[in-house]
Structure 1
């Protein structure tokens, strides 16, 4: 493996509008998730993810998807942002992020629901973020 982060599904091209269908990987989502279709722990779209790995730690032994998520999450990002920036299906991103959190590679920060109702400020931030996408 190479030392730099790999985008989407192992491509060496950074995420961006210039990425076309030919440069995306042929790896099927079920291969990336080991056949699983749901994360071990539930992750909200708006859950924030940050890398637990320092920039100096060697991540070359990790999968390209893990490397890309760790690289992106050096800045706090939502699960939805990770999915969009890596052009990865949301279900796949949720599974990988939940696995990475269980292994200690990332930290997940989720808002708790207060009596079954989400925080109004959180909803406004999510709506604002969705509009930016």
Structure 2
């Protein structure tokens, strides 16, 4: 007796065994309504080893500030799913959202140089 093998859509061809909607528990939108495609994301220094591969790929991509749209493009994922997956990682404390400008400047000399330049204006 021959067995039919389901080869599904392009996700199956890429080797994915779990459909993306399973990874996000069927959610179609993020709970955090402030997330949009331009939202910047950065990974926090936590161990992602217990996460599914798809989530670890996002964490790896977020070593530096990156937008949700860029994450989706680099990982070839639908933007809606990418936004929901980032929301899941945010809820679980694996990433932080914001903007690169929110980073604290640790070098006081840079601040003093900027202040001196402003005072010369």
Query: What whole-Å deviation, never above 9, does each CA across 1:70-122 have from its counterpart, x for those lacking one?
Result: 10000211000111111111111111111111221101116xxxxxxxxxxxx
Q: Distance in 2 between matches of 1:70 and 1:100?
A: 9
| 2:95 corresponding residue in structure 1 | 106
How many residues align? The count is 88
| 2:18 corresponding residue in structure 1 | 27
Identify the structure with the greater helix proportion. 2
Contact 1:32 1:92 (C-alpha < 8 Å) held by counterparts: no
Cα 1:101–1:58 change in 2 (3 A) is closer
TM-score between both structures, scaled by the size of structure 2: 0.64
**Cα distance, 1:32 vs. partner?**
1.6
Q: Pick from 36, 41, 62 the counterpart of residue 73 of structure 1.
A: 62
Q: In the alignment, is residue 52 of structure 1 matched against residue 44 of structure 2?
A: yes
Q: Distance in 2 between matches of 1:21 and 1:99?
A: 23
TM-score between both structures, scaled by the size of structure 1: 0.59
Query: Structure 1: where are the runs of 5+ without partners?
Result: 1-19, 111-133
Contact 2:48 2:94 (C-alpha < 8 Å) held by counterparts: no
Query: Structure 2: where are the runs of 5+ without partners?
Result: 1-10, 100-121
Q: Distance in 1 between matches of 2:31 and 2:14?
A: 30
Bigger radius of gyration, 1 or 2?
A: 2
| 1:85 corresponding residue in structure 2 | 74
